[in-house]
């Protein structure tokens, strides 16, 4: 199943088996996530391949994407997943490789995911993201896409040094989104 979400400067391509080695390399490298996030558990190729093939993690929907420039250069990762199954809340996550940060790619990835989710999942009332409270670049990116800061989650994340850090919960409601900003089709 190839799903390509086309943006202006980047595309989001659904992750496939061929992407597993690169994603494992990124996820297991603390520099990939940056100073504000830590993937606390090393992931194996087998675990990630299963996640990518089944689109599930912890028994819930989880869909991984590669962030690619228009020429196909892989510059990051994005995902959407169910964070509160009893409410159907959808959460997004993203990371851009260090050499490609501060160029608007994360903002565009957030907007593409937001458009895609609201266009294809009619029953979701909100999309949310949890980021490190100190991550100003991520705050700007989310706010530029219409997300609002709902408050602080104390000791909610591990930072790059493996210590607990406060997080910020951002969300956008369907009625705040109104219409697609970038994505115009979903196939």
Which domains, from first to last, does the chain contain? 4-177 (3.40.630.30)
Residue in 110, 121, 109 with CA at minimum distance from that of residue 11? 109
Q: What is the pLDDT of residue 79?
A: 95
What are the pLDDT digits (tens) for 113-148?
999 999 999 999 999 999 999 999 999 999 999 999
d(CA 47, CA 136) in angstroms, rounded, equals 32
What are the pLDDT digits (tens) for 70-120?
999 999 999 999 988 888 889 999 999 999 999 999 999 999 999 999 999
d(CA 150, CA 37) in angstroms, rounded, equals 19
Residue in 63, 60, 64, 62 with CA at minimum distance from that of residue 86? 60
What are the pLDDT digits (tens) for 161-187?
878 999 999 999 999 998 899 986 655
What are the pLDDT digits (tens) for 1-41?
568 999 999 999 999 999 999 999 998 887 887 787 766 66
What are the pLDDT digits (tens) for 49-60?
888 888 877 777
Q: Is the four-CA dihedral 110, 73, 33, 24 of positive or negative sign?
A: positive
């Amino acid at each position: 199943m190839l799903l390509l979400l086309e943006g202006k400067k980047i595309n989001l391509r659904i992750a496939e088996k061929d992407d597993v080695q690169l994603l494992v390399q990124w996820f297991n490298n603390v520099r990939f996530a940056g100073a504000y996030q830590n993937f606390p558990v090393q992931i194996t190729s087998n675990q990630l391949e299963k996640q990518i093939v089944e689109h599930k993690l912890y028994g819930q929907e989880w869909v991984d994407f590669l962030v690619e420039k228009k020429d196909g250069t892989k510059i990051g990762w994005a995902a959407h997943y169910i964070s509160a199954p009893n409410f159907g809340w959808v959460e997004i996550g993203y990371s851009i490789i260090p050499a490609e940060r501060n160029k608007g790619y994360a903002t565009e990835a957030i907007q593409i995911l937001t458009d895609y989710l609201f266009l294809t999942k009619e029953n979701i009332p909100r999309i949310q993201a949890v980021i490190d409270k100190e991550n100003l670049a991520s705050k700007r990116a989310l706010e530029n896409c219409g997300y609002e800061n709902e408050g602080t989650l104390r000791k909610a994340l591990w930072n790059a040094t493996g210590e607990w850090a406060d997080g910020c919960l951002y969300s956008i409601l369907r009625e705040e989104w109104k219409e697609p900003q970038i994505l115009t089709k979903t196939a």
